[in-house]
Amino acid sequence: MALQVWLAFFLASWVIAVSPGSGAILSMTHGLTHGVRRTSVTIAGLELGLVVILFIAGAGLGALLVASEHAFTAIKIVGALYLIYLGIVQWRTPIQISKPAEGESPNVSSRASGSSGMRRFLAGLLTNLTNPKGILFMVAVLPQFIDPAKPLLSQLAILAVTMVFVDLIVMHGYALLASRAQRLFRDPRALRWQSRFFGGMLMSIGAALFFVKRQTA
């Protein structure tokens, strides 16, 4: 892969990652309720889903999926309903401030913080795997960075490592911002509205997916 092509993809990866989407909202949501360390498991799921979509698109299956109206609609509906479900769960998550021990600062927690790492990982994985907008983007943009005269697998591997590297930094940044915002507000009512805001964002993105249209020739 030519250096200038890789640099172009590297810059594009930053733009893609920074743009607010379901992955960013999920990272902030879990950063708010679980903290950055626990959210790393969620982000690992997001990255695996990202890699799977990248290789599917790179292998040409993504274009086939987009061309199939029934398959695309099924993924769109599942993705939309799943994000709405995550939003409802976040909206209803009770935020509590435990009484601090002497000399310690108040500890913000939620019942959701007890959720298993596997559940957080699957939430991240399914959020990206069922995102039709991500599939559309990969199918439309990825071919521009692939040289058909060179081995496909090695090129996809380079693109995947690049995108995951960038996305890991950005998603952890979103989680850290949400976690720090949690520390700024010790009022249970303020924390509750923060949780509902992120839950509402997830539900809004899920509802918006119903209006995503597949590409036509």
pLDDT in tens, the chain (217 residues): 788 888 888 988 887 788 777 888 889 888 888 888 999 999 999 999 999 988 887 777 655 655 677 767 777 787 678 778 777 876 776 655 444 444 444 444 444 444 688 989 999 999 888 877 677 777 767 777 777 778 888 888 999 999 999 999 999 999 998 888 766 655 666 667 766 777 787 688 778 767 766 655 4
Q: Round to whole Å and give the CA distance between 22 and 204.
A: 10
CA–CA separation, 65 and 71 (whole Å):
6
User: If 0-12 CB within 10 Å is exposed, 13-18 middle and 19+ buried, where does residue 203 land?
Assistant: buried
- Select from 183, 30, 186, 37 the least CA-distant residue to 119: 30
**Collapsed DSSP state (helix, strand, coil) of residue 95:** strand
Q: What is the pLDDT of residue 103?
A: 43
Write the DSSP assignment of 119-142 as a string of letters.
Answer: HHHHHHHHHHHT-HHHHHHHHHHG
Q: Residue 95 phi/psi, 5° resolution?
A: -100, 130
pLDDT of residue 170: 93
Q: What pLDDT is stored for residue 74 in this prediction?
A: 76
Q: Is there a contact between 162 and 13 (Cβ–Cβ < 8 Å)?
A: yes
pLDDT on residue 121: 94
Give the integer Cα–Cα distance in Å for 99 and 42. 28
CA distance 38 to 43: 9
Tell me what pLDDT residue 191 has: 64
- Domain ranges in the chain are 24-99+107-209
